[in-house]
């Protein structure tokens, strides 16, 4: 995908609107998301395509605000090399969280601008996010990549991320960084739903089902609103369980959330 450099002011405004937080309210903890297209925010013209970072605000109270800096097509390397990490770091303040979730595009050996090797350059780039955010007084959190919708002949999810999740787990342990194992939790979620049931999570639409996708679409990597909400629920629940944020920062973690809760901005931030 084409990578572009953007600012996050519009994303923050959308997050404030979603959580019901006003600019004059007590300063909330900000939860920045650095990631790829599985997490990024999509404009209304691409709805119902939705990233889990876009859905994260529906699980946050006014005590926390999601600022989604995830970028479609980004790897840990390209996000940093293109200055996107520096833009995030410039906004971080003490006490903020930085969720770091890359892997889908780090895997692309054919693209040297994005490819990283799991045990070396992948860990090296992720370490930049950790060390530089800590230097700002923020709290880094590593989030392993959400799984794709690929099932074996026996009807269970087939792992698609190779050595990258294990490499991130190793780095989290080595640098004492909180870890959200989204690879594991999403695998459990998708196995529970099954091959047919996961179609409502991923961007699977029949021809004529939605005006933005008149010819239909079968995308086994990206989500529609229902899936993004459920993946964001996994992330938010893990953050609560690990006490990465105070328990009062979360809402409706165990209740149904309709697709209409998602905010799709009219234009990119």
Q: Which residues are catalytic?
A: 37, 218, 222
Please, are residues 232 and 59 in contact by the beta-carbon 8 Å criterion? yes
Quick one: tokens of 188?
A: 């459990």
**C-alpha angle with apex 108: 37 to 82, nearest 5 degrees?**
60
Beta carbons within 8 Å of 100's beta carbon, 6+ residues apart? 34, 35, 76, 126, 129, 130, 140, 141, 142, 143
Name the burial class of residue 220, with classes exposed (0-12), middle (13-18) and buried (19+) by CB atoms within 10 angstroms of its CB: middle
CA distances 163 to 49, 98, 107, 198, Å, are 28, 23, 9, 24
Give the strand order in the sheet containing 49-50.
Answer: 49-50, 217-224, 202-205
Give the phi and the psi of residue 18 in degrees, each rounded to 5.
-70, -40
Quick one: tokens of 119?
A: 């045990």
Chain centroid offset of residue 48 CA: 16
Is residue 127 classed as helix, strand or coil in its secondary structure?
helix
């Amino acid at each position: 995908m084409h990578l572009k450099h953007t600012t996050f002011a519009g994303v923050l405004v959308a997050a404030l609107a979603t959580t019901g937080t006003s600019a004059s309210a007590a300063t909330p903890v900000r939860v920045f998301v650095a990631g790829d297209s599985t997490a990024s925010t999509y404009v209304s013209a691409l709805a119902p395509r939705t990233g889990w970072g876009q859905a994260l605000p529906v699980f946050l109270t006014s005590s926390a605000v999601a600022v989604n800096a995830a970028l479609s097509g980004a790897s840990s390397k390209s996000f940093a090399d293109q200055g996107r990490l520096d833009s995030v770091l410039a906004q971080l303040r003490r006490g903020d969280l930085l969720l770091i979730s890359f892997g889908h595009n780090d895997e692309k050996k054919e693209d040297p601008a994005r490819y990283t090797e799991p045990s070396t350059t992948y860990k090296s780039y992720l370490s930049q996010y950790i060390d530089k955010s800590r230097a700002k007084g923020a709290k880094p959190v590593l989030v392993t990549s959400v799984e794709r919708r690929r099932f074996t002949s026996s009807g269970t999810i087939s792992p698609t991320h190779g050595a990258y999740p294990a490499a991130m787990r190793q780095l989290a342990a080595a640098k004492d960084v909180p870890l959200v194992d989204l690879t594991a939790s999403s695998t459990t979620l998708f196995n529970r739903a099954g091959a047919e049931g996961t179609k409502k999570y991923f961007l699977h639409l029949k021809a004529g089902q939605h005006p933005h996708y008149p010819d239909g679409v079968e995308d086994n990597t990206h989500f529609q609103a229902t899936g993004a909400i459920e993946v964001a629920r996994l992330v938010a629940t893990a953050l609560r369980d690990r006490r990465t944020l105070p328990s009062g920062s979360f809402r409706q973690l165990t209740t149904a959330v309709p697709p209409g809760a998602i905010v799709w901005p009219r234009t990119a931030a």
